[in-house]
């Protein structure tokens, strides 16, 4: 990426000072309990209050950008650029997951407490922190008089945690208007230390694709009656046997292209024999699949479709044979497979025609975006401007994001929140004591500023 040209007023938009108080702005947004899964109980007021806060916190964004409400929970801003040939879409969501009241938080989860340079609260990382760094970057560039080379869209959803219908509507709307995003950046990876064993470099992990998801319900029926005279196998036993047959090896292991490129990029930064091992694995994808599958956990999840039984039901009393029983199984689908194909494999693996397998919901894996194009290079350069010396590497995202709805209309969709996250911080996402450092927010703002000012003309 070539250095950004000065604006028409002769100023360097990257050299302009950032507005202070980014941590306080995030703190204010955290105070709005925008829990989408509890919309029925809480009502829409927290969401509308957050939208009103955005107008107060980012006056230039609301004065100079076009804002369109898409469904009740979608916000679409358009910043007209010098050209509309290669539009950029920056995404985030402002809803959060619920808080378990029995969890022991250091500070109340919706207080937005700032202590020792750290902002605490639900949504600090997922995804109000990434939302704030986008808006701060745009506000700062507007204050500096910058005009982007291309149209810039800000797409914010308020129901990502409950499937993301706002993002679906925004994606469809852009498509209907003939807008084909040149680059899309949503939440996903982060800046992490020691991304793999033996790798000493700090890495910006950029999701170039995401696994699909399927929820299956297994169910079986049986004769009810008294538990004192049970049949050879009950409905509960039949479902339990079916679940037991869904071992980690249910699906074959294959190495996605993103994992191979990730190993190639990390190999020069690994110590001793670790570097040799990574080079070997990068050159032999079939070996990588076998090794990662044996390691289990996250490595195994990178190379195969995972199967996780998550819920069981059946029975009304301890001494009564249930007439029916069921189980819910969650699958994260690897690239190259489909929802229908995974359901068919589960049926074959269970080998029991008396167990019904029904797809409750599902979406196929996304395509994998390229890493050798100008768009990925733009992200890599912006990482260098905000986190000097950091290695930018692709990976396959295992969770679901709103970005999956944009792959239908764009081939360059990436998932990266430009925030530094320790392993403890990553564990706090959807967990206890979710938090982000103010320094990381400031670096995230610089990332987006660098990305916007470097759009090609």
Give per-residue pLDDT as tens, 338-397.
999 999 999 999 999 999 999 999 999 999 999 999 999 999 999 999 999 999 999 999
Which pLDDT score, from 0 to 100, does residue 6 have? 65
**Does the predicted model carry a pTM greater than 0.85?**
yes
Whether a cis peptide bond, with omega within 30° of 0, leads into 127 is: yes
The pLDDT tens digits of the residues spanning 166-196 come to 999 999 999 999 999 999 999 999 999 988 8
Q: Residue 183 in contact with residue 371, Cβ under 8 Å?
A: no
Q: Specify whether the backbone of 127 is left (phi greater than 0), alpha (psi in -120 to 50) or beta.
A: alpha
Give the model's confidence band at 236: pLDDT under 50 very low, under 70 low, under 90 confident, else very high.
very high
| Position 5 pLDDT exceeds 70 | no
The pLDDT tens digits of the residues spanning 250-296 come to 999 999 999 999 999 999 999 999 999 999 999 999 999 999 999 99
The pLDDT tens digits of the residues spanning 62-119 come to 999 999 999 999 999 999 999 999 999 999 999 999 999 899 999 999 999 999 999 9
| Position 4 pLDDT exceeds 70 | no
Alpha-carbon span 344 to 312, nearest angstrom = 21
Residue-averaged pLDDT of the chain: 95
Which pLDDT score, from 0 to 100, does residue 105 have? 97
Q: Classify strands 202-210 and 183-193 as parallel, antiparallel or unpaired.
A: antiparallel
Question: In residues, how long is the chain?
Answer: 457
Which pLDDT score, from 0 to 100, does residue 383 have? 98
The pLDDT tens digits of the residues spanning 283-339 come to 999 999 999 999 998 899 999 999 999 999 998 899 999 999 999 999 999 999 999
Alpha-carbon span 390 to 369, nearest angstrom = 21
Burial track 100-132 (b if 16+ CB lie within 10 A, e otherwise): eeeeebeeebbebbbeeebbbbbbbbbbbbbbb
210-363 maps to CATH 3.40.50.300: no
Contacts of 222 by beta carbon, 8 Å cutoff, 6+ apart: 231, 233, 234, 235, 236, 238, 321, 322, 323, 324, 325
Beta partners for residue 403, in sequence order: none
Name the H helices within 58-94.
59-64
Q: Specify whether the backbone of 137 is left (phi greater than 0), alpha (psi in -120 to 50) or beta.
A: alpha
**Within this chain, domains 22-194+370-388+397-453 and 210-363 share the same CATH topology:** no
Pick from 42-46, 230-234, 321-325 the range whose average pLDDT is largest.
42-46
Task: Indicate which residue of 95, 151, 161, 364 is catalytic.
Answer: 95
Q: Residue 139 in contact with residue 67, Cβ under 8 Å?
A: no
Alpha-carbon span 183 to 51, nearest angstrom = 25
Give the model's confidence band at 8: pLDDT under 50 very low, under 70 low, under 90 confident, else very high.
low
User: Is-catalytic flag, 439?
Assistant: no
Give the tokens for residue 410: 């764009």
Residue whose structure tokens are 């494999």: 345
Q: What H or E segment, with its residue span, contains residue 277?
A: helix 272-283
Q: How far is CA 42 from the centre of its chain?
A: 25
Query: Where are the chain's structural domains?
Result: 22-194+370-388+397-453, 210-363
SS3 241: helix
Give the model's confidence band at 227: pLDDT under 50 very low, under 70 low, under 90 confident, else very high.
confident
Residues 15-33 have a mean pLDDT of 95
Ordered DSSP codes for 288-323: HHHHHHHH-HHHHHHHS-EEEEEEEEE-SSTTEE-S
Which pLDDT score, from 0 to 100, does residue 353 have? 96
- Report how far apart, in Å, the C-alpha atoms of 31 and of each of 94, 122, 123, 205, 315 are: 12, 9, 10, 29, 42
Of 31-45, 213-227, 340-354, minimum mean pLDDT range: 213-227
User: Is-catalytic flag, 337?
Assistant: no
Which pLDDT score, from 0 to 100, does residue 1 have? 44
Task: Indicate which residue of 126, 136, 160, 445 is catalytic.
Answer: 160
- Report how far apart, in Å, the C-alpha atoms of 81 and of each of 13, 65, 158, 285, 388 are: 15, 11, 26, 43, 28
Which pLDDT score, from 0 to 100, does residue 2 have? 45
Beta partners for residue 266, in sequence order: none
Alpha-carbon span 374 to 361, nearest angstrom = 35
Pick the CATH number of 22-194+370-388+397-453 from 2.120.10.30, 1.10.3210.10, 3.10.20.30, 3.40.630.10: 3.40.630.10
């Amino acid at each position: 990426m070539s250095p950004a040209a000065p604006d028409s007023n002769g100023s360097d938009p990257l050299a302009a000072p950032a507005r202070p108080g980014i941590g306080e702005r995030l703190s204010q947004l955290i105070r709005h309990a925008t829990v989408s899964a509890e919309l029925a109980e809480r009502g829409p007021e927290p969401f509308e209050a957050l939208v009103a806060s955005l107008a107060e916190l980012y006056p230039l964004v609301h004065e100079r950008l076009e804002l369109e409400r898409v469904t009740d929970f979608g916000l679409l801003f358009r910043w007209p650029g010098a050209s509309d040939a290669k539009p950029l879409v920056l995404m985030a969501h402002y809803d959060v997951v619920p808080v378990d009241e029995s969890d022991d938080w250091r500070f109340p989860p919706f207080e937005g407490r700032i202590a020792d340079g750290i902002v605490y609260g639900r949504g600090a990382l997922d995804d109000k922190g990434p939302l704030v760094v986008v808006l701060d970057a745009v506000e700062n560039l507007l204050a500096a008089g910058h005009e982007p080379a291309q149209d810039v869209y800000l797409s914010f959803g308020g129901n990502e945690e409950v499937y993301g219908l706002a993002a679906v509507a925004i994606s469809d709307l852009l498509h209907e208007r003939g807008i084909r995003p040149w680059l899309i950046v949503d939440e996903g990876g982060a800046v992490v230390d020691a991304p793999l064993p033996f790798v000493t470099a700090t890495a910006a992990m950029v999701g170039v694709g995401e696994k699909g998801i399927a929820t299956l319900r297994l169910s079986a029926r049986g004769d009810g009656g008294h538990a004192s005279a049970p049949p050879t196998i009950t409905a509960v036993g039949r479902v339990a046997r079916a679940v037991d047959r869904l071992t980690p090896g249910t699906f074959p292991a294959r190495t996605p292209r993103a994992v191979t490129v990730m190993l190639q990029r990390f190999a020069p930064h690994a110590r001793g024999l670790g570097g040799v091992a990574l080079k070997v694995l990068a050159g032999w994808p079939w070996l990588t699949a076998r090794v990662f599958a044996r390691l289990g956990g996250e490595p195994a999840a990178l190379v195969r479709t995972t199967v996780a039984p998550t819920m069981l039901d059946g029975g009304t009393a301890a001494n009564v044979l249930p007439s029916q029983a069921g189980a819910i199984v969650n699958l994260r689908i690897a690239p190259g497979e489909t929802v229908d194909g995974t359901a068919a494999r589960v049926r074959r693996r269970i080998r029991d025609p008396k167990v019904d397998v029904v797809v409750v919901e599902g979406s196929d894996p996304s395509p994998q975006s390229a890493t050798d194009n100008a768009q990925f290079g733009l992200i890599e350069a912006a990482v260098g401007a905000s986190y000097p010396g950091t290695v930018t590497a692709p990976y396959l995202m295992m969770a679901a994001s709103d970005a999956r709805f944009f792959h239908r209309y764009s081939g360059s969709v990436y998932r990266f929140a430009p925030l530094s996250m320790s392993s403890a911080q990553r564990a706090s996402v959807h967990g206890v004591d979710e938090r982000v450092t103010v320094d990381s927010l400031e670096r995230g703002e610089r990332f987006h500023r660098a990305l916007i000012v470097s759009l090609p003309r």
